[in-house]
Amino acid sequence: MRKKAVVLLSGGLDSATALYYAKSKGYDCKCLIFEYGQRHKKEVESAWKIARSCGAEYQVIKIDLPWKGSALLDSKMPIPRGRSPRRIKSGIPDTYVPARNTIFLSFAASYAEATGAEAIFIGANAVDFSGYPDCRPEYYEAFRRSIRLGTKAGVEGRTIRIVTPLIDKTKAQIIRMGMRLNVPYRYTWSCYIGGKRPCLRCDSCILRAKGFKEAGLTDPLSRT
């Protein structure tokens, strides 16, 4: 029987790479894709295209965060644009969604425990990222402890691992890894603005462009 993993799949470059990495390690991957009130559905559409391309099962989970608290949820809040990579990493931006990864990981832990999966993969990155506190290594170590203490599986000694294969990599290193794994980056979507083409000015677009440039590669979305 193949080992099983739950993969949190957002439709972005990092989560797609994490999925293909998990597959390369021999896991039978079950993807969770969240609709949580984002301004646009582009990333959700990208996520299911990526899951299908990988041959992985997926579920789209719809949840509501009516209190908003983020520019990704509240159209009245402006999306930061035109910032330098150094400035992007200097603080917590308005695109931070309160406790988002805690919410997503809780769903993933429940799914993993109920289905007997032994690992949860998430494409979190603490190098070329937007300064979100729930992307740091110490946060994932704390959540691993929470699973050990707060689940039947953990109490009975059946460990559910949280795997963060990209946590200490630059965006360029992630992209090079993805190219070796044949990740279809043409299906991914990173832009916080849900247009037909990436805006190229939001924090996510800027970090993505930096990654492809430093990797010496052309972003397939630049050709669309």
Q: Where are the domains of the chain?
A: 4-223
The dihedral over CA atoms of 34, 40, 43, 46, expressed in degrees to the nearest 10, equals: 110
* Apex 138 CA angle, 135 and 141, nearest 5: 105
Are the beta carbons of 95 and 43 closer than 8 angstroms?
no
Predicted confidence (pLDDT) per residue in 61-102, tens digit: 999 999 999 999 998 999 999 988 878 877 899 999 999 999
Instruction: Determine the pLDDT at residue 86.
Output: 79
Q: Is 200 left (phi over 0), alpha (psi -120 to 50) or beta?
A: left
Instruction: Determine the pLDDT at residue 26.
Output: 97
Instruction: Determine the pLDDT at residue 223.
Output: 65
- Is the pTM value of this prediction over 0.85? yes
Instruction: Decide: helix, strand or coil at residue 211.
Output: helix
- pLDDT under 50 in the chain at which residues? none
Instruction: Determine the pLDDT at residue 31.
Output: 98
Instruction: Determine the pLDDT at residue 74.
Output: 94
Instruction: Determine the pLDDT at residue 2.
Output: 83
Q: What is the mean pLDDT of the chain?
A: 95
Instruction: Determine the pLDDT at residue 224.
Output: 55
Listed residue (88, 115, 90) closest to 27, CA to CA: 115
Instruction: Determine the pLDDT at residue 142.
Output: 97
In this structure, which topology does domain 4-223 adopt according to CATH? Answer: Rossmann fold (3.40.50)
Instruction: Determine the pLDDT at residue 194.
Output: 83
Instruction: Determine the pLDDT at residue 191.
Output: 95
Instruction: Determine the pLDDT at residue 45.
Output: 96
